[in-house]
Amino acid sequence: MLGMKGARHGARLWVQFLDSPFSGLAPWVWMAMLAGPGRFEVAVSGALAVSALVLTMCWQRGIPVHAIEFLGVSYFVVLAIIGLHASSATKAWLELWSGDITNALLALYATVTLVLRRPYTMVYARHKVSPERWGTSLFVRVHLVVTGVWAGAFGFAATVGFIGDAAVHDTDNFWTGWVLQLAALLFAVAFNDFYPDYARARAHGHPEVPSWVRLVEWVPPFLLGTAVAGWVLGAVLDAGCLALVLAALACGALMRRPAAPRSVAADRITASG
């Protein structure tokens, strides 16, 4: 019985994933984070496999397939073909820069959808709301903001990755290659979850609005994970690891402090003042 419930719960989570912006982003993120010296083939083949799986499952479940999924398959197929026939020098270049290029392409794609006023996240959100809401100013504005944050996150990841490659000369630098890029991604995920609820509450005059703390709930465990990984890998000094742990504990304590609910009226007074 428990097994059946677990299977049904897993199936629901999988459908939610397929119906969310993360399904289109997942293979790109895999490629951007994993690409590096000696890992180009693993990064490309894994990204292509995830792309193919998402496409197949979407078709089977009748979920619309979006432009970024098709672009992803095309992009990873091209990279795979180049990798198969490339010289050792070309492959070394791809190992160095393909992660940054992937992040930059994601930022560019999100920016283009903003310019066209068809923000990337909006096409996924349409699966969850009635068609009469698709053209409302609130719906469009929310997803312009959310997609803008995604564009900024991928642009930031591409920038710090470029700094790691070009200035630090270390594709696998602990900070530029992993920590900062992952932090940008987690912030975008949190914002994607938080902002639509916040904007709707403000627009509809709900007595309480979601707390901005939701945007940083991921920070304490992320800091702890960074401290542990930095210590295990020898990438962070012991004092730095201790500082990260203390910062995580302090952030967690601050978030657990009870706070008076923020009302819409109070937010408007604060904004106008």
pLDDT reported for residue 256: 81
pLDDT at residue 258 in the model: 61
The helix (run of H) or strand (run of E) holding residue 193 is helix 180-203
Instruction: Please give the pLDDT value at position 153.
Output: 97
Predicted pLDDT at 132 = 84
Please report the pLDDT score of residue 264 as a whole number.
Answer: 44
- pLDDT given at position 128: 79
Q: DSSP letter for 213, please.
A: G
Show the low-confidence residues of the chain (pLDDT under 50). Answer: 260-273
**CA–CA distance from 38 to each of 41, 96, 240 (Å)?**
8, 10, 29
- Tens of pLDDT, residue by residue over 73-128, are 999 999 999 988 999 999 999 999 999 999 999 999 999 999 999 998 998 888 77
